[in-house]
């Protein structure tokens, strides 16, 4: 399975062959559709075969395969399809995911707090982190520092490296979650700011993110804190 989104999140159309099909689910030999993972929702869009259009309503990962959930059955192994992703939805998730990394980096640099989770949505997203103190005014300061990084127009890049090399990177240890147990690790780097193990889609420059606006900050009990934010277009 060739996962096109890992190399280039800006590829929103592609051609592929169906390798497996069962009822309303299809597996392709390659795909640009991102499967729901790591707090980022799956892509949606269409697969077209012989002028027949199938809506892709969800995408999930099953072991080493990417499963496309369609609005109805009809595809069969051997069919050639053209895929087209909902680009507006994908691009918003790319911007939001990079924003999560920027906020995570600022919070870690300012407080040493490890990131415990995130969830990206179309209208808003959130970042969870472990921190003993809870001061909403400080949270606002972190968001403004994040917006400065957005304005700095810093390049964002991805690369695949051996696991041993990844584990030697101090930046990757800021996550409360373990580095994935695989031979190679995909690392997303915001120049001079952040490096994280991540399989999600991102923009190529922080300037694409747009202004980050804090919606609210919550105390989720004990040392768990949460910031909700949206992006201004």
Q: Which domains does the chain have, with CATH numbers?
A: 2-85 (2.40.30.130), 90-231 (3.30.980.10)
Question: How far is Cα 57 from Cα 43, in angstroms, rounded to an integer?
Answer: 8
- Other CB atoms within a 10 A radius of the CB of residue 187 amount to 20
Q: What angle do CA 106, 108, 111 make, to 5 degrees?
A: 105
pLDDT grade, residue 175 (50/70/90)?
low
CB 58 within 8 A of CB 37: no
Q: What are phi and psi of 134, to 5 degrees?
A: -140, 110
Question: How far is Cα 152 from Cα 191, in angstroms, rounded to an integer?
Answer: 10
Question: How far is Cα 230 from Cα 59, in angstroms, rounded to an integer?
Answer: 24
Give pTM, 2 decimals: 0.94
- Tens of pLDDT, residue by residue over 36-79, are 998 999 999 999 999 999 999 999 999 889 999 999 999 999 99
- Tens of pLDDT, residue by residue over 4-48, are 999 999 999 999 999 999 999 999 999 999 999 989 999 999 999
Per-chain mean pLDDT for the chain: 93
């Amino acid at each position: 399975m060739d996962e096109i989104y890992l190399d280039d999140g800006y590829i929103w159309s592609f051609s592929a062959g169906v390798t497996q099909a069962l009822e309303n689910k299809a597996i392709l030999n390659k795909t640009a559709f991102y499967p729901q993972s790591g707090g980022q929702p799956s892509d949606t869009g269409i697969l077209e075969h012989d002028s027949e259009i199938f809506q892709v309503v969800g995408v999930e990962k099953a072991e080493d395969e990417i499963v496309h959930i369609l609005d109805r059955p009809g595809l069969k192994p051997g069919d050639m399809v053209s895929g087209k992703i909902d680009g507006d939805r994908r691009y918003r998730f790319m911007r939001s995911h990079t924003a999560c990394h920027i906020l995570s980096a600022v919070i870690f640099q300012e407080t040493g707090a490890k990131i415990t989770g995130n969830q990206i949505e179309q209208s808003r997203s959130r970042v969870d982190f472990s921190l003993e103190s809870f001061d909403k005014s400080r949270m606002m300061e972190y968001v403004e520092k994040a917006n400065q990084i957005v304005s700095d127009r810093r390049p964002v890049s991805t690369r695949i490296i051996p696991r041993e090399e990844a584990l030697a990177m101090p930046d990757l240890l800021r996550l409360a979650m373990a580095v994935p147990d695989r031979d190679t690790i995909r690392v997303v780097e915001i120049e001079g700011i952040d490096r994280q193990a991540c399989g999600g889609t991102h923009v190529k420059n922080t300037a694409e993110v747009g202004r980050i606006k804090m919606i609210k900050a919550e105390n989720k009990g004990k040392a768990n804190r949460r910031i909700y934010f949206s992006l201004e277009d």
